[in-house]
Amino acid sequence: MRFWPAAGAPRIAVIGFGYVGSCLGVTLAGAGFDVVGVDRDRDLVADLAAGRCRVPEPGLAEALAGLAGGPLLAFTTDYDAVRAVDVVVVTVGTPVDDGGALETAQLEEVCGELAPRLRPGQLVLLKSTVAPGVTRGLVKPLLEGSGLVQGEDFGLAYCPERLAEGNALAQLVTLPVVVGGCDPASADAADLFWRTALGVEVRRVPDADVAEVVKLASNWWIDVNVAMANELARFCALYGVDVLEVISAANSLPKGTGRVNVLLPSVGVGGSCLTKDPWMVWRAARDRGADLRTVRTAREVNDAMPDYAAGLIGDELAKLGKDVGSATVAVLGAAFKSDTGDLRHTPVLGVVRALRATGATVRLFDPLADPDAMRRVFGVEPERELADAVVGADCVAVLAGHRAFADLPPEWLAGLVSLPCLVFDGRAYYSREYIERLRRNGFGYRGIGR
Ligand SMILES: NC(=O)c1ccc[n+]([C@@H]2O[C@H](COP(=O)([O-])OP(=O)(O)OC[C@H]3O[C@@H](n4cnc5c(N)ncnc54)[C@H](O)[C@@H]3O)[C@@H](O)[C@H]2O)c1
Provide the pLDDT for residue 3: 83
Please tell me whether residues 72 and 202 are part of one structural domain: yes
84/190 same-domain check = yes
Residue 293 lies inside a defined structural domain of this protein? no
Spatial separation of the C-alpha atoms in residues 81 and 98, rounded to whole Å: 35
The closest of 150, 131, 148 to 211, measured between CA atoms, is 131
Q: Residue by residue, what is the 3-state secondary structure of 88-120?
A: EEECCCCCECCCCCECCHHHHHHHHHHHHHCCC
3-class secondary structure, 308: helix
Q: Is residue 429 predicted with pLDDT exceeding 90?
A: no
Same domain, 173 and 40: yes
Asked whether residue 419 is assigned to any structural domain, the reply reads yes
215 belongs to a structural domain: no
Determine the Cα–Cα distance for residues 148 and 146; give it in Å rounded to an integer: 6
Give the ligand 1 atom nearest the CA of 162: 6
- For the CA of 44, the closest atom of ligand 1 is 39
For residues 177 and 325, state if they share a domain: no
Q: 233: Cβ below 6 Å to ligand 1? A: no
pLDDT higher than threshold 90 for residue 7: no
* Average pLDDT, integer, range 435-445: 97
* Ligand 1 atom closest to Cα of residue 22: 16
CA–centroid distance, 46 to ligand 1, in Å, is 17
- 2 falls within a domain: no
Residue 382: inside a domain:
yes
Q: Is residue 262 part of a domain?
A: no
| pLDDT band with cut points at 50, 70 and 90 for residue 240 | very high
pLDDT in tens, 69-117: 999 999 999 999 999 999 999 999 999 999 999 999 999 999 999 999 9
Indicate the residue among 206, 235, 252 that finishes a domain: 206
Using 50, 70 and 90 to split pLDDT, how confident is the model at 414? very high
Residue 6 has pLDDT above 90, yes or no: no
Coil, strand, or helix at residue 41?
coil
pLDDT digits (tens, 9 = 90+) for 256-308: 999 999 999 999 999 999 999 999 999 999 999 999 999 999 999 999 999 99
User: How close is the Cα of 107 to the center of ligand 1, in Å?
Assistant: 10
Q: Would you report the helix, strand and coil content of the chain in percent, each value rounded to 5?
A: 45, 15, 40
Q: Are residues 170 and 41 in the same domain?
A: yes
For ligand 1, the distance from its centroid to the CA atom of residue 129, given in whole angstroms, is 9
Asked which of 185, 206, 227 is the last residue of a domain, the reply is 206
- Out of 273, 280, 338, 346, mutate this one to test ligand 1's pocket (max ligand atoms within 8 Å of CB): namely 273
Percent of the chain with pLDDT over 70: 99
Q: Is the dihedral of CA 392, 397, 401, 402 positive or negative?
A: negative
Q: What distance in angstroms lies between residue 111's CA and the mean position of ligand 1's atoms?
A: 15
Nearest CA to 165 out of 265, 64, 269, 87 is that of 269
pLDDT tens for residues 125-149?
999 999 999 999 999 999 999 899 9
Looking at the fold, whether 192 and 55 belong to one and the same domain comes out as yes
- Average per-residue pLDDT for the chain: 96
Q: Is residue 82 within 8 Å of residue 13, measured between CB atoms?
A: yes
Last residue of a domain, one of 206, 227, 261: 206
Residue nearest atom 17 of ligand 1, based on CA coordinates: 93
pLDDT of residue 391 exceeding 70, the answer is yes
pLDDT in tens, 184-231: 999 999 999 999 999 999 999 999 999 999 999 999 999 999 999 999
Residue 1 belongs to a domain:
no
Q: What's the structural domain count of the chain?
A: 2
What CATH number does residue 145 fall under? 3.40.50.720
Give the ligand 1 atom nearest the CA of 342: 1
Ligand 1 center from residue 245 Cα (angstroms) = 38
Same domain, 182 and 331: no
Give the per-residue pLDDT at 385.
97
Does the residue 256 lie in any domain? no
Domain span at residue 348 reads 304-447
197 and 345 belong to one structural domain: no
Q: Measure the CA–CA gap between 122 and 441, rounded to whole angstroms.
A: 64
3-state secondary structure at position 12: strand
Pocket test for ligand 1, best of 22, 47, 91, 110 (most atoms within 8 A of CB): 91
How is residue 23 annotated by DSSP?
H
Q: What local confidence, expressed as pLDDT, does residue 8 receive?
A: 78
> Residue 1: is its pLDDT beyond 60?
no
